[in-house]
A and B are shown apart, each in its own frame.
Chain A
Amino acid sequence: MKEDTISALEVVDVQGSSSATTSMPGVFVWGIVAICVIPFLLTLAGFDFGSHAEKFDMAEMAQASGPAQVDAMFNRLPGAFAHALLEWTAFCAAIFTVLLAFSQFRMTGDITTPIIGMALFCAGCMDAFHTLAAARLITAEASNQDLIPFTWAICRIFNAMIMIIGVSLFLRKDFNFRLAGVPFLIGTSVLFMVLAYAIISYCANSASLPQTQYPDSLITRPYDVIPLVLFAFAGLYLYPKFYRKVPSLFAHALIISAIPEVVVELHMAFGSSALFDSHFNIAHFLKIIAYVVPFLGLMLDYIRTYREQQQAHEALEISQTELELQAGKLKIINEELTTSNAELEQFAYIASHDLQEPLRTVTSFLQLLERDCKEKVSDDGKKYIDFAVDGSMRMKQLIEGLLGVSRVGTSDQEMVATDTGEILQAVINTMHESIERSAAVIQYDELPTLHVDENQLHQLFQNLIGNAIKYCDGTAPKIVVSAEQVDGVWQFSVADNGIGMSSKHYSRIFQIFQRLHGREEYSGVGIGLAICKKIVERHAGRIWVESTVGEGSTFYFTINESTSARLSAVG
């Protein structure tokens, strides 16, 4: 017997409870083993757990008083009462187990628990029938002498079989845990109950049942060898396989429950030779333990799950508070940025606006000076004045450029649905002089109607086409304007056959006051493309260029209506 217990232990992985939440605490396992072994040790030491009936003298009893007679009858039946108590306790444990299993199922959706819980419950029902029949609370055809041992044997075999069937359901390779739901649960439960009922019916209605008790043999109850083998098989092979497939506290508890089950069978198969003797009562007691172990597994699972949920909930609350804090901070920073940005733009605008007045004074009086002092001033002096006037003219251009750029941002013009083709045509009309002078040809496809700032788009086209005309090397400029949808966003292109540029300048040209040529080569301040970039950005788009030196450049820009609408609504 001890060998079986130890080998069962080898299978059981006795771990500390802290590591995984899928194995019972080591203390618990050793406790169960101890409970299984101690009664046997005690019998070796001489303890007798049997129920002994007091002798009954019919003649004496006839003389005794009513209560005395009842007492005597009670004293005749201590075994039966003890048996009923023990069996009924086991049945109650089975009821609690199945209730808890179904509650677990509702919480976790894990189908294995209620199915096995149902199997345990059906086995418990069989035990209940066995108890009620033994206590003569339900009438059965056969006598107790045969009924109790036979139904016991049937119950044990049924218990082992139903557990093996229940667990094997989940070991099928193709078992789909996700598809198995309430219908599967109901179907299997009904099947189990039908099986149990059929067997109970047979037992209750058979007048003669096979003998199961052989007091003089070594194996006093041979029918108990079958469940012994079955439970050993389940505990050593089937339950561990199940645990590997579905690791959980409940599955682990099942493995452990095999220990008392096997010990029960050992006591009954080799120990008990009569009803209600020492080994009989020990076995019935250990059967309660066998039912309680899975129940405790479920309880522990419940407690651990609840605790984990609590911790997770608390952690979630903490991180939520932190997130709200961060969001609040971000909002403040965003507001500060928006304000600072608006202030900067306003500043640039006002500065360039107010700078124009004194600039005009300087330029104009320099010119008057030049005129008035033409005779009085030396040639060098004339040159000085020329350079001074030139400088102030340049400053005027720079300030006007700066003003142009900052005006893009401070514009509060609404985005209105406009035909971009019409805007392009208006630009061509505005520029007709320079177009004629350079013999430029401008082609354009059908252009879409979009929500844009009309003035700004006009400026954008004007700058791009102006550049295309300006930066050409003598051949008549040919400009093609087109638009297409790319990833749901409209992408425009303005292609020319001008002087082109090297790729290393691609990003430089969009910066304020950055130019690729001197003032003598091509006029300009370096503001046109910077303004284009700001306009495109106001429309939530991008602008970029692709070019080949000597062949021409194509400027691309995108307009994102949905984002620009959101942006203009904000600021």
Chain B
Amino acid sequence: MEVLLVEDNPADQMLAQQAFKDANTPCTLNIVADGEQAMMYLRNIDQYKNANRPKLILLDLNMPKMDGHEVLEAVKTDPELAGIPVVILTTSSNPKDVKSCYAAHANSYVRKPADMNEFTDAVRDLEHYWFDVVSLP
């Protein structure tokens, strides 16, 4: 179960890795640091030539160069990539962000909890939902 995490903040990258470890999920977490890298990964360009297609994308919103909204747009308008579920994972609770992400066909929107335990629970729930409950293409 390949999961792609698109997150620029190294602290958040580390927290996510820790959460996945604590949640004891069978997922493999791949991390890219910005939107451009994410697109290269998904399209198997350059160093990502041999990257596996992820089953799930966890996408942060506030990133330099190419931010989450643009990545979401790019993925969901590309017929090759549109089928991959995209879960927005962000600290923003702004209703405008929620609205625009769903409008751009994000599959769900998750607010990153500040509490580590809550984050771990959320990751566990996410993994359970997307890989056990839901059928993926």
Contacts and interface: CB of A to CB of B under 8 A. Distances in A.
Contacts of A368: 15, 18, 116
Interface in A373-418: 392-393, 396, 403
Given A364-B114, A365-B15, A392-B114, A357 B119 contact: no
A353 interface: yes
A392 B113 CA distance: 13
Interface residues of A, number: 16
Contact of A361 (B11, B62, B117): B11
Interface in A537-555: none
Nearest to A352: B93
A396 B11 contact: no
B114 A359 contact: yes
Nearest to A369: B116
Interface residues of B, number: 17
B78 interface: no
Contact of A353 (B94, B112, B113): B94
B13 to A, nearest CB: 11
Nearest to A413: B95
A363 interface: yes
B117 A360 contact: no
Interface in B82-108: 91-94
Interface string B1-26: 00000000101100100100000000
A205 interface: no
B115 A363 contact: yes
Contacts of B62: 357
Nearest to A360: B114
Interface string B28-40: 0000000000000
Contacts of A393: 114-115
A356 interface: yes
A367 interface: yes
B15 to A, nearest CB: 5
B94 A367 contact: no
Nearest to B113: A360
A360 B93 contact: no
Given A353-B92, A356-B91, A357-B91, A363 B12 contact: no
A361 B15 CA distance: 8
Contact of A360 (B18, B94, B112): B112
Contacts of B18: 368
Contacts of A365: 11, 15
A392 B15 CA distance: 17
A396 B15 contact: no
Contacts of B11: 361, 365
Contacts of A359: 114
B117 to A, nearest CB: 7
B42 to A, nearest CB: 26
B15 A364 contact: yes
A365 B112 CA distance: 14
A403 B12 CA distance: 22
A368 B11 CA distance: 12
Contacts of B9: 357, 361
Contacts of A364: 15, 114-116, 119
Contacts of A356: 91-93, 114
Nearest to B19: A364
Of A363, A364, A367, A368, which is in contact with the most chain B CB atoms at under 10 Å from its CB? A364
A365 B91 CA distance: 16
A357 B94 CA distance: 13
Contacts of B92: 353, 356
Given A360-B112, A361-B11, A361-B12, A367 B91 contact: no
A98 B58 CA distance: 101
Given A353-B92, A363-B115, 12 more contacts: A353-B94, A356-B93, A357-B62, A357-B91, A363-B114, A364-B15, A364-B114, A364-B116, A367-B115, A367-B116, A367-B117, A403-B93
